[in-house]
Amino acid sequence: MNAKLNTVLIKTQDMAKSISFYEQVLEFALDSMISMSPDKQKALLRREGSDTLIELETADPGQPPASGAVSLSFVVEQIGAAEKALAASKVRVAAPPRTLKGGKKIMTAVDPNGVELHFIEE
């Protein structure tokens, strides 16, 4: 099967904080906002030059956080520069940069919803 990732859905308790994070830290842009009901919103964010969307949806009250349910991976040119950018944005780094067998470097951070963000320098 030849499948291409189109959309990643993240449920959030704080829509404004999540949109701000993906816009300011990871350079996504708000594409559209949908109000499905007074307490249920959906935001679509897109990164220029990419077909992949991040879809943020208001979580139901009492719904557990997304931690461990999903993770996102991003390829970066230089892991040290990515680490500095995350630190400047006060993003929590869960695992500092490390080198894997084969020479890949990886670092793990966490978004406002507890979603793991893996940054990989190949």
**Which pLDDT tens digit goes with each residue over 77-89?**
999 999 999 999 9
pLDDT of residue 91: 95
Measured CA to CA in angstroms, residue 84 lies from 25, 35, 61, 101 at distances of: 11, 36, 35, 24
Q: What value does the mean pLDDT take over residues 88-105? A: 93
Task: List the one residue out of 89, 108, 87, 80 whose CA is nearest residue 27.
Answer: 89
Q: Which two tokens stand for residue 5?
A: 């990732």
Q: What value does the mean pLDDT take over residues 97-113? A: 92
For residue 49, the one-letter residue type is: G
Whether the predicted pLDDT of 3 surpasses 60: no
Residue-range domains of the chain with CATH: 7-121 (3.10.180.10)
Q: What value does the mean pLDDT take over residues 11-28? A: 94
pTM of the model: 0.82
Phi, psi at residue 114, to the nearest 5°?
Answer: 90, 5
Nearest-angstrom CA–CA distance, 63 and 106: 30
Measured CA to CA in angstroms, residue 77 lies from 1, 85, 121, 122 at distances of: 29, 13, 6, 8
